[in-house]
Amino acid sequence: MIKSLNYHVSNFLVGNTYDNPLSGGGSGGDGVESFLDQAMSMNNLILALGGFWVVACLIIAGMKLAGSSGNPQKRTEGLIALAFVAVGAFVIVKSSDIAGWVANM
């Protein structure tokens, strides 16, 4: 998206004009395909950030479980945190699958 904005600003500064505002969008292809390419790159970025988030939450949940010291409430808290990590990872992966499926239509 930054690349597209930079392209438009630089063309504005040198005085280029466009006859058809829907042709291209300034990102190297026609409007729809370049938008889908940018959406897929954004999808990959969000998937990577979600992966780091899942790993961080997994570490925190494991620390809760390991630090329970036989306390049943703390043990339950750790197990529930692990379950939420699993559900969150599933949601991140499936949302990426759905976004990929929509982009490949």
* pLDDT tens track for 51-60: 999 999 999 9
Contacts by 90-97 with C-beta closer than 8 Å and gap 24+? 92/47, 92/50, 92/51, 92/54, 93/47, 96/43, 96/46, 96/47, 96/50
pTM for this structure? 0.62
For residue 85, pLDDT over 90 is answered with yes
pLDDT at 97: 87
pLDDT band at 3 (very low <50, low <70, confident <90, very high): low
